Amino acid sequence: MVASKAVTIVALALPVLLLTTTAWPQSHALPAGDVQAIYKRLLPQIERIKIFDHHAHPGFGDDPDVDAQATPPQHLPYRARETNPELVTAVKALFGYPYSDLSDEHMRWLADRSSKAEKGGGTEYFDAILDKCGIEASVANRVAMASYLNPKRFRWVFFVDSFLFPFDNKSVTGENPDQGVYIPLQEKVLHRYMQQAGISRLPDSFDDYLGFITRILEENQKKGGIAIKFEVAYFRSLYFSDPSKDAAAAVYRQYHSGGVPAPEAYTTFQDYVFRYLVREGGRLHLPVHLHTAVGEGDYFSLRRGDVLNLENVVKDPRYLATTFVLIHGGYPYFREVIWLASMKNVYIDTSEIEVLLYPSEFKNALKLWLETYPEKITFGTDAYPYSSALGSEQEYWLGTHSARDALTAALAEMIASGEVTEVEALKMARGYLHDNAISLYPR
């Protein structure tokens, strides 16, 4: 009896012994490891990951097809100003720029270089930019593709906002100086689509108008379009009610051949057409990209553009077949936006944020997201030809370098705090920089 009692004591004591001698995973608030050493170990591995840039507007500065809108005069945030010395680093790395400032005189060197490439018309110039930034392929979110962009490396995402503005837009255009710049450009895009469909005026019936929209979506998909893009947060609220088709058709009947609709009537029409486009995006397997962060221009409304306004749409089970990509991650509402990614069809893109913010702060947003839904976060630069100092070329460089730095720092902290292993961290890095986004599109 004595012997068996001893055995029982040993058996009981064994799990306790194991618990005290084996390091079972447990995360902790303070880093237990050497964050700097982990960062140094991870960085070269992360630099080798070829990137898929999920949101960019590549192009030369004078190409009107780069975007469906222009940049109104604005008070630029600190890092985006031409005084940012990182821009000199970017052009030295990309082009071997021989000067150490961006004075008007020296920038002529850059302008000459790019206009020579533009005149040459080949695809090598932008291919080389991607190569230098370690980008395998990039989205080209543009009104139309350009012959100087290699279709094997640049994948077209086209704009659909203009379908929401077919009537007399006098009242919208007069809202503030920014709208005065934006809305006429939307009208131009709609006219372009009408030309594409061979019509000189809006169809008589609402059903035919919806048929015209579908025709453009299908044609643009055949021309290589992989997703549709809304920048509608610049023009109106991101809250879309759920009006009946009859209500929208009544507005169309009244205004398609003239007259300025009252704001409520116009909104009813737009809410219906927006949801129609969301459904078509699901049917045609064209993911829906939505601008969801603070935008350019001094009049951008943070309240109207708040990404949470989209909650009733992205969490609507009727749209489970539609993939939503929340471009620019709803910034500054980044703490809130990640909870929308609980939906299997909702993804968060980080473009613009890694250039608006410095890496020291971008790292914190990225870390929170990777700690919550790491498989739903995708990378983008928002490269765009803002000015001769900040062209899309420089932004590709700044975006990729800032993001790799912030990503490595976020993962190093997570490893040192016992949240993930290095193997898991590198899987997250590959997901963020490439795999998560690429899985959404046909090869």
382 contacts Zn ion (rule: CB under 5 A)? yes
Shortest spacing between CB 204 and Zn ion, in angstroms: 35
Beta carbon of residue 427, minimum distance to Zn ion (angstroms, whole number): 28
Measured from the CB atom, is 382 or 413 closer to Zn ion? Answer: 382
Nearer to Zn ion by C-beta: 354 or 382?
Answer: 382
* Total interface residues for Zn ion by CB under 5 A: 1
Which tokens in the block code for residue 335? 């703490």
ω before 332 within 30° of 0 (cis)?
A: yes
Q: Which of residues 221-240 bind Zn ion (CB under 5 A)?
A: none
Q: Determine contact, residues 351/328, Cβ cutoff 8 Å.
A: yes
306 binds Zn ion per the rule CB under 5 A: no
The interface region with Zn ion, picked from 114-122, 271-279, 341-349, 378-386 by CB under 5 A, is 378-386
Closer by beta carbon to Zn ion, 382 or else 393: 382
Minimum Å gap between C-beta 332 and Zn ion is 17
Closest CA to 205 of 249, 241, 240: 249
Query: Cβ closer to Zn ion: 58 or 261?
Result: 58
Q: What's the rounded Cα separation, in Å, for the pair 428 and 348?
A: 14
Q: Locate tokens 């960019």: which residue?
A: 56
What residues does 158 pair with on adjacent strands? 228
Give Cβ neighbours of residue 192 (< 8 Å, ≥ 6 apart). Answer: 143
Query: How far is Cα 274 from Cα 215, in angstroms, rounded to an integer?
Result: 16
* x/- map, 333-372, Zn ion, by CB under 5 A: ----------------------------------------
CB atoms within 10 A of CB 82: 13
Q: From the CB of 57, what's the least distance to Zn ion, in Å?
A: 6
By C-beta, is 382 or 419 nearer to Zn ion? 382
Quick one: 271 or 382, whose CB is closer to Zn ion?
A: 382
Backbone angles phi, psi at 155, to 5 degrees: -115, 130
What's the min distance (Å) between Cβ of 116 and Zn ion? 27
Strand ranges for 174-226 from DSSP E? none
CB 222, min distance to Zn ion, A = 24
Instruction: Indicate the residue among 291 and 363 with the shorter CB distance to Zn ion.
Output: 291
* Residue span 400-429 as binding mask against Zn ion, x where in contact by CB under 5 A, dash where not: ------------------------------
In 3D space, the residue among 387, 396, 442 whose CA is nearest the CA of residue 60 turns out to be: 387
Torsion of CA 166, 172, 173, 175, to 10 degrees: -170
Q: How far is the CB of 254 from Zn ion (least distance, A)?
A: 34
Q: Which is nearer to Zn ion, 374 or 399 (by Cβ)?
A: 399
| Helices 124-133/86-95 angle, 10° precision | 120
Dihedral sign for Cα atoms in the order 422, 428, 433, 438: positive
Q: How far is the CB of 231 from Zn ion (least distance, A)?
A: 7
Which residue ranges make up the site for Zn ion (CB under 5 A)?
Answer: 382
